[in-house]
Amino acid sequence: MGFSVPLSRIVPYALVGAGAGYLYYVAANIEYHARAGTLGPDFWPKAILALTIAVCLYEVVKIALLGTRAQDTAGVLEEMAEEGIEQHADAQAAEPPAENHPLLLVAGMLATLAYVWIVQRLGFFLATVAYLAVFMWLGGYRRGRVIAAVSLIGTLVLLLIFMKLVYVSLPIGVPPFAEVTLFLMNVMGIR
């Protein structure tokens, strides 16, 4: 019976690791024309799957070697979280319940739907800057300069990550809006 507890804890990691192994095999067989000096479309999926496999193997070995002692070490973060909850329970009880804002929720959903519709026309950059600004304003933040800075810088970082590092093709928009995206791509060295 002592072995059944670790086995029941090993099975989920083994299943996820096996699934990740199969997906890694599929990703390794992606056919594409390689360009010199660039990562292929198989790089990021394979990297994530390799990390998943490594974590699953680590957990399986840890559980197999430590057995029931692994439960003691696995609960450290849980104990810390429970202590924090207990310490702040009195402070939370004194606070009034959070307000509900169903109209803001609906407005956020409509803003998201509008973003999905307009991103093809304005392009990723312009649509995302506007979307982030509107969403922050709907969330109750009213400092205009901060909203503008976060929207602009955040969108530029996302553009760089998606198009330069991960090689995701983002919508550039229709003329004249496409010119903004193409200009930024040229400045950032995105081809």
How would DSSP label each residue in 161-179? IIIIIS-------STTHHH
**Which of the residue ranges 71-75, 103-107, 130-134 has the most confident prediction, judged by mean pLDDT?**
130-134
* Distance in Å from the first CA to the final CA of the chain: 60
pLDDT of residue 143: 92
Q: Where are the domains of the chain?
A: 4-94, 102-187
What band does 164 get if pLDDT is binned at 50, 70 and 90? confident
Which is higher by pLDDT, 129 or 167?
129
pLDDT of residue 75: 45
* pLDDT exceeds 80 at position 153: yes
pLDDT of residue 147: 95
Using a 10 angstrom Cβ sphere, with 0-12 exposed, 13-18 middle and 19 or more buried, the burial of residue 41 is middle
> What does the pLDDT average to over 129-152?
94
Report pLDDT digits (tens) over 38-93.
Answer: 777 778 889 999 999 999 999 888 888 877 554 555 444 445 556 666 766 665 55
pLDDT of residue 39: 74
Would you say how long the chain is, in residues? 191
Which is higher by pLDDT, 165 or 114?
114
Using a 10 angstrom Cβ sphere, with 0-12 exposed, 13-18 middle and 19 or more buried, the burial of residue 122 is buried
Alpha-helical segments (H) within the chain: 4-28, 43-66, 69-74, 76-94, 102-122, 124-138, 144-159, 177-187
* pLDDT exceeds 50 at position 7: yes
pLDDT of residue 115: 96
> What does the pLDDT average to over 130-136?
95
Scanning the structure block, which residue is given the tokens 């590092």? Answer: 165
pLDDT of residue 166: 78
Using a 10 angstrom Cβ sphere, with 0-12 exposed, 13-18 middle and 19 or more buried, the burial of residue 99 is exposed
The span from the CA of 174 to the CA of 121, in Å, is 5
